[in-house]
Amino acid sequence: MSGRTLSAHAAGVPTRIPLSTLAIPMGLVGLAQVWSVATTALGVTDLPGQSLWLIAAIGLLVTVALHAHRGTRADQPLSEQLTHVAHGPLAALLPIAAMLLGAGLHRTIPLAGTLLTLIAVAAGAAFGAWMLSFWMRGELALEAVHGGYYLPISAAGLVGALAAAETGLKWLAVGTFAVGIFFWLVISAFFFLRLALRPTLPEPLIPTLAILVAPPAVAAAAWLSISGGRPDDVFGGLTALTAFMVLIQVALLPRYRALPFSLSFWSFTFPAGSVAALTITWLRLLHPFGWQAATVGLLAAVTAFIAVIAGKSIAQLRAALRTARRNHAAKGRHAIG
């Protein structure tokens, strides 16, 4: 923590809200995406999915508004937060969530959805280029790399490809897909070197390991949309990579279960939604026995998983507010005394 931040704490000046909270609306977007994929596969009304898209949009707007409000009162400049080695890359969650919201909006209001997608992809590209230029200064230690480093360029490119393809912007989808794939390979090389050759990730960053499954899952969905819904060898290969990454997550379950709950658990939500959406897509394509029941079961499981995280998050925030009120009251009594 810098001297500037310490002085802000001492003076009672609020610090900025952690960028990791942007994973909350991102998780809601992922849930809405799963519902839309599932209802399309089952041929039923997408009203629940549309409702979730609205909730996700409201969640993103509220989160951004809270960040902006706290930022006007905080002593810490935004540039310091964005260049933080651990938290800076997480800012990419804002344009990434907006990309998917644009694709969701396109289903009901095509023009507005297309415009939002274009703006979000442009914002993501600008932030990704800026972040890459910052990393290229040579000041970044390998120990700083974590799963969130996929977000600014790789995840933004692949999600941008999916959103652009779903809004009919194939030319943009192909370009962003290429960028996402290239930097997925680049970041993976650094990330696996960091995991193998450097000390273990700090406890709050361990949930970012779940992000490993998101790039291949999103890439598979994006490629299927780019190729006009025709499953080919590229789609099959990306699905196989997703399956292998899921196996890694299964092996990591004991490590995850040992963690105390925190808001960083929202890092699990979008990857879980991405894998669920891809699995439902495969069920729709293959039509195995009982595939409708499997789709409903998977949808219920993902919804329950995210609902549990949301419930625990609300309980934790309430407990933190009660503690803050007690501390404030205790300081007031101490001042009077």
pTM, to two decimals: 0.89
As a whole-number percent, the residues of the chain with pLDDT over 70 amount to 92
Contact 35, 52 (CB under 8 A): yes
Contact 267, 210 (CB under 8 A): yes
Nearest to 83 by CA among 34, 127, 116, 21: 127
Q: What is the mean pLDDT of the segment spanning 173-196?
A: 94
Q: What share of the chain is helix, strand, coil (3-state, %, to 5)?
A: 85, 0, 15
- Report whether pLDDT(3) > 80: no
Question: Tens of pLDDT along 281-334?
Answer: 999 999 999 999 999 999 999 999 999 999 999 998 888 777 767 765 666 555
Judged by average pLDDT, the poorest of 49-53, 73-77, 87-91, 296-300 is 73-77
Distance, in Å, from the CA atom of 57 to the CA atom of 112, rounded to the nearest integer, reads 14
According to the model, what pLDDT value does residue 269 have? Answer: 95
What's the start-to-end Cα distance of the chain, in Å? 32
Domain limits at 292?
3-336
Question: Tens of pLDDT along 209-253?
Answer: 999 999 999 999 999 999 988 899 999 999 999 999 999 999 999
HEC profile for 35-75?
HHHHHHHHCCCCHHHHHHHHHHHHHHHHHHHHHHHHHHHCC
Question: Tens of pLDDT along 29-50?
Answer: 999 999 999 999 999 988 888 9
What domain count does the chain have?
A: 1
According to the model, what pLDDT value does residue 330 have? Answer: 63
- CATH number, domain containing residue 262: 1.50.10.150
3-class DSSP assignment, residue 177 = helix
Instruction: Quickly state the pLDDT bin for 13 (edges 50, 70, 90).
Output: low
Contact 121, 164 (CB under 8 A): yes
According to the model, what pLDDT value does residue 140 have? Answer: 82
Residue with tokens 């652009």: 164
Structure tokens, 105: 């909006």
Question: Tens of pLDDT along 279-294?
Answer: 999 999 999 999 999 9
Residue 32's contacts (CB-CB under 8 Å, 6 or more residues apart) are 49, 52, 53, 55, 56, 100, 104
Structure tokens, 21: 């909270």
Long-range CB contacts (within 8 A, 24+) of 102-110: 102/163, 102/167, 103/162, 103/163, 103/166, 103/167, 104/29, 104/32, 104/33, 104/36, 104/49, 104/50, 104/53, 104/56, 105/53, 105/57, 106/166, 106/167, 106/168, 107/36, 107/46, 107/50, 108/50, 110/167
Q: What is the DSSP letter of 193?
A: H
Mean of the per-residue pLDDT values for the chain? 89
Cα torsion 185, 191, 195, 201: sign: negative
According to the model, what pLDDT value does residue 188 have? Answer: 93
